């Protein structure tokens, strides 16, 4: 199963009950399309970076979703696009649990790819700065 995050910004003039009803409606759409909303976060009202429809604030909502494919979001995104109470939305596929850590290189071994390259000292010198 793939994991996604669906973030949407709602008109801040709506009441808390209307925001809950709207988010429950989108949650039901995702679940009816075969997705699972396993975590739901309400970030509350926050200031927007720029005005949208002459509004400088928005109510943020975040869904963490598991789904077999992106098909669970087609209807939801279409409904969000048509709903004027939703200011913005964004769906992102996450790769939680599948992070690859970089390989640890042994600094005592020389690089075989560039034997003529100058050696680089791994020690870092820290300069002390006097405050005025």
Give the span between the Cα atoms of 126 and 132, in whole angstroms: 19
pLDDT digits (tens, 9 = 90+) for 49-83: 999 999 999 999 999 999 887 777 888 899 999 99
Q: Could you read off the pLDDT of 89-110 as tens digits, one per residue?
A: 999 998 765 555 566 666 665 5
Say if CB 94 and CB 101 are below 8 A apart.
no
Strands laid side by side in the 86-94 sheet: 36-52, 55-67, 2-10, 86-94
* Segments making up each domain of the chain, as ranges: 2-94
CA distances from 26 to 11, 61, 93 (A): 15, 11, 18
The fold for domain 2-94 equals: Alpha-Beta Plaits (3.30.70)
DSSP state at residue 78: H
């Amino acid at each position: 199963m793939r994991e996604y995050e669906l973030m949407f910004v709602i008109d801040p003039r709506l009441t808390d009950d209307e925001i809950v009803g709207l988010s429950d409606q989108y949650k039901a759409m995702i679940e009816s399309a075969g997705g699972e909303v396993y975590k739901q976060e309400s970030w509350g009202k926050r200031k927007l970076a720029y005005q949208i429809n002459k509004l400088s604030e928005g109510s943020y909502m975040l869904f963490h979703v598991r789904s077999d494919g992106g098909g669970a979001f087609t209807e939801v995104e279409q409904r969000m696009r048509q709903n004027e109470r939703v200011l913005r939305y964004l769906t992102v596929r996450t790769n939680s649990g599948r992070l690859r850590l970089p390989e640890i290189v042994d600094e005592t071994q020389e690089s075989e790819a560039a034997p003529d390259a100058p050696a680089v000292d791994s020690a870092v010198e820290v300069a002390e700065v006097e405050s005025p």
